[in-house]
Structure formats: C-alpha cells, structure tokens
Chains A and B, each alone.
Chain A
C-alpha cells in the first residue's frame, strides 16, 4: 500500500487492468457509482420538465439536458463496471431497490419551473465545481477521461441555468418572487451538496480521487454565488449570512448535517417517490430491452 500511495503521490495514473489495492478499487467504484446514480436520477427529473417547460426553445434545451444526464450515467456506469465489482445491470437494480445512494439534491421535490431553474443554476454549478475538483488530479484514468466530457456538458447546463435565472431576475415582479421562493428552497441543498467538512484521513483525498477538501469547495461556492444572487436582487435564505470584516469573505451559518445524513440514506422528503418513479421507468422499458436482446440473437 505504501508503494502504491507513493506512486499516486508522484502523479501515477491507475488503469482498469493494473494491480491496485482492493480498498482503492472499492473506493473508486463506490465514488463513480454514486456519481452515475446521481446523473441518472437527475436525468429523470429533467425529463419530467420537458412537457412543462415554457416554449419550444426551453423544451429543446430540457430535452438536450435530459439526454446529457442519462448519457453521463451510461458512460459512468461503463467505467464503474470495468472495475469488476458489479455489472451495469446490478448497479441499476441496486439503485432501484434503494440499496445504493445518489446526491442529496435529487431527494427533494421540484415544485415549479423556477425550482427547475434554481436546480439548473445553483445545483448544477455545485455539482460542476465538485466534478472539476475531481477531474483536476484524479488518479483513476478512465474516470478522469470521461469527466472531461461530462464537465464540458455540465458547463452548458449551468450557462442555461444562469441565463434563465437572470431572465427571471429581470422579469416581472411575479417572476422575481417565484425565483426568490425557489432560491429559498434550493440554496441550502446546493451548499450541502459538497458534504460535511472532509475527515482528516479522508482516503479519497489521500488517493488523489478528490483534489480539494469539501469545506474548501463549499466556501469557494459561497464566495461566488452570494454576490451573484445579491446582484440579481435576491435574498439569501440564511439569517446569519455575513461578510467577515477581517478577510472580507462571506460566512454562512453553521449547517446541521443530521437531516442530510438521513436524506443520503434515501430517507429524504421525495426519496421514495423518486426511486419508485425510476423503478417504473425501468420496468416500462423492459419490453424494449427484451425485444433488442431477442432480435440480436436472430441470425441475419
């Protein structure tokens, strides 16, 4: 293990067929599986908004984003499967049976179109920031290579989100109020996406899967988004938010992580409905999978 860690510290990159400690293999696998599950669950939410999106252009971008998220899930499941721990199908079944997990932000109900904008703007930006921090120095080669593509497309989602948020900021009073309501609902989940402060001996950091501590990423996000939201004329739903007179940085109030822990164990406000919905989607498409499989066996 010491030799392996020296190799990683020196910038070594691990490929699927290389020898690697089982603990590293498991940690990388769990991390990618969580990411894949989150992309998949996010894609399903996005799909829900295609018919409800206002106007053809927004329907098309919602469609494109849905395809991106499901596409990311596909790529990530392929990379995860090559680690030889679970097949792609086993990962799907585990997700749909509630045995594995996905990001906190997909455990809440999206109530309105402005909620969907808040997700695209605040949540996608948080996800992108954490993915960029993984991409920067990731020791597992296939994951790093696939992240390049994922990040490029997430950037497109985030720009769409910012564009829609700004349109609301400059819109009618009703639109502004609606956007504010959604920011009230989604600010904290977005900030919590980075997770609690990293543990001192965090293996994901030691093995160069993550390149930044959770609290560093969270703080960077706060410094960037507080001024943006205030600039749009919005209020940040945190009564203790203040600018530190010494270092001039924005400080948010202490976060109670207990509800997040419960949420991450699939016990969030909308977890059960979302997992059931994903299961229905999987079951409804079973005949397609069967038809494709059986037609593939017929000799041409």
Chain B
C-alpha cells in the first residue's frame, strides 16, 4: 500500500484544495479510491492525486522567518498625511 494525497477543485474560480488522503496499491487504484472517497457527490470537477512521497514539504521555520515588513504597507502613514493635507486646505 502507498499513501496518496487528494486535491479537489470545485467551482470555476476556487483553487485546488487538499481534501485528504487515501491508501492504494498503485496509481490507478489511487484514482479510483480518491474518487470514491472524496468525490461521490461531485464535490469537485477536477481532482489531483499525488503520491505522498512526491510532495515536497518546505521548511516551516524558513517560512515563518521571512521578513514581511517591507513587503506590506498598512496605509497608516498615508492616512495621517492625508489628514494633515486636508487640514491645510481648510
């Protein structure tokens, strides 16, 4: 038995999402089991089934450590400056 991860895509604009996993002896049976276990009621119009050993898992610490501060602008300074500017006009 091998473990496979199942991803489903529902209505047009939604991305693929992880539905769960199945055990199967080979790829063909994995597709069958995945359809039976996760798509019995047309839960997805597309399905990806991936052998778990082929899923590359990123380092969580690296992801958490990514410095985001200079990649966002919360708009606070803009709001302050706008207020100051409109104050000048009146």
Is A166 interfacial (CB-CB < 8 Å)?
no
B interface with A by C-beta (< 8 Å): 1, 3, 19-23, 25-26, 29, 33, 36-38, 40, 57
- Given known pairs A75-B20, A78-B20, the reply for A292 and B25 (CB within 8 Å) is yes
CB nearest to B25 among chain A residues: A296
CB nearest to A290 among chain B residues: B25
What A residues does B29 contact at CB under 8 A? Answer: 292, 296
What B residues does A295 contact at CB under 8 A? Answer: 25-26
Provide 7 A-B residue pairs closer than 8 Å at the C-beta atoms, listed in order of the A residue.
A17-B57, A71-B36, A75-B20, A78-B20, A78-B21, A295-B25, A296-B26
Task: Check if B23 sits within 8 Å of A78, measured CB to CB.
Answer: yes
Total contacts A to B, CB within 8 angstroms?
A: 38
A interface with B by C-beta (< 8 Å): 17, 67-68, 71, 74-75, 78-79, 82, 88-89, 142, 145-146, 149, 292-293, 295-296
What B residues does A296 contact at CB under 8 A? Answer: 25-26, 29
- Cα distance A82–B1 in the bound complex, in angstroms: 14
What B residues does A89 contact at CB under 8 A? Answer: 1
- Given known pairs A78-B20, A78-B21, the reply for A71 and B26 (CB within 8 Å) is no
Task: Check if B36 sits within 8 Å of A146, measured CB to CB.
Answer: no
What B residues does A293 contact at CB under 8 A? Answer: 1, 25
